[in-house]
Amino acid sequence: MDSPSRPRRLRCSVQSYDWGRLGGESTVARLYSKNSAEEIVPDRPYAELWMGTHSSGPSFVVDAESPLLLKSWVSANPGSLGEKVVERWGTDLPFLFKVLSVAKALSIQAHPDKELARVLHETRPEVYKDSNHKPEMAVAVTEFEALCGFVAVEEIKFVLSNVPEIVELVGHEYTNKALNINEDDGEDKTKSILQSIFTKLMSASKEEYSELVSRMKNRLDAENKVRKLTEKEQLALRLEKQYPADIGVLSSFFFNYVKLKPGEALYLDANEPHAYLSGECIECMATSDNVIRAGLTPKFRDVKTLCSMLTYKQGFPEILRGLPLNPYTKRYTPPFDEFEVDSCVLPEGASVVFPAVPGPSLFIVLAGEGTLKTGNAVDEDKILEGHIFFVPAETEIGVTAASGANSASALGALQLYRAGVNSRFFQ
């Protein structure tokens, strides 16, 4: 009899957004090809590999009698989610797991909290297709760049003193208010001034800002011949090449420029502005695809909603480096109930056990090969790069990396990631 408690192999979906890396340059393309047995198309952008139950990029159980939607399988086997998960989130995975391959900047965006998501879904379901919030976390696989959250007050003042094109758009009244902020001003007043400036900037007409973006480019190109440009100025020129005459080029000066090393992670709460710029990462989030965009994109922009929803919190974001669970595994724990992510790198011949947990897990083999077995079972299944598994609640998993002549990996290491419900939810 087939046990609903054993791991299930999945075939997953790919998204070809235009910011994705092309063909064989994309980790997403490589993983998707190995997962689905489809050929890589050299000139196709492969942006995101989706693992989960979201209808925009569903996963299928492939070791059933015939391919079956993971969402349908989970609904028919609610015990696989665990009692507490079903009680809180119903018969659906509460998290969506992804791999991203980013060649150029994604849109300047934010994700709504639960209340705003519900309102947007009710009023504009054709644009906002989910009623759920979408907190998320990105774990860098390569060097990974992002814009995230607003810079501190002193940097705001520096921007307004050194980027005349922004001053021209927002006006001298708002500029002077920001330049005169002092330590005695409360947090609410500072946020109010920042919101006024940012809203004025983002609400400018295309005719106004496109000329100023062009003027900024020409000014920086000229100044680059006589001085070294700042990192932010160099970034603005890079963004202008990707998105000419876009307001996002100017607004980038207001955000923290974050550079993650491989193994570092960034988490993003609801109502916080951000934009991924380049690199490859593992991403996990609450099950939702709600995105409110306002720049660096050809897609629909909802500037009014974005500017009104942001927290306008300032300061550099927290960088997670993972807490060791054992010599091979690190855990990234964001402050959200829906998910956590484990990163595991096993050298040749090494083994590790992922203990049984009260909720479901998704595993992806990012590189290498090895074997996987369930609990005390004798039989082992071979696992390879691109294999993705759904592991039911209360299921212990043992993984061993291939060694010697049994290993086809040049590095001899098995690299995999696990997404699951945040452990703190069960405590």
The vertex-370 CA angle with 366 and 376, nearest 5°, equals 120
State the pairing for strand pair 60-61/8-11.
Answer: antiparallel
Which residues sit in the known binding site for Zn(2+)?
109, 111, 136, 274
67 CA to centre of own chain: 28
Strand, coil or helix: what is 236?
helix
What's the length of the chain?
A: 427
Residues designated as active site: 293
- Cα 80 to Cα 63: distance, rounded to the nearest angstrom: 16
The secondary element (H helix, E strand) that includes residue 245 is none
Reference 254, options 299, 294, 300; nearest CA is: 294
Beta strands, E only, 85-135? 95-102, 108-110
First and final CA of the chain: distance in angstroms?
Answer: 33
In one-letter notation, the amino acid at residue 286 is: A
How far, in Å, are 13, 140, 264, 268 from residue 319 at the CA level?
A: 29, 11, 7, 11
- Cα 172 to Cα 174: distance, rounded to the nearest angstrom: 6
Enumerate residues 6+ apart whose C-beta is below 8 A from 264: 139, 140, 144, 319, 320, 321
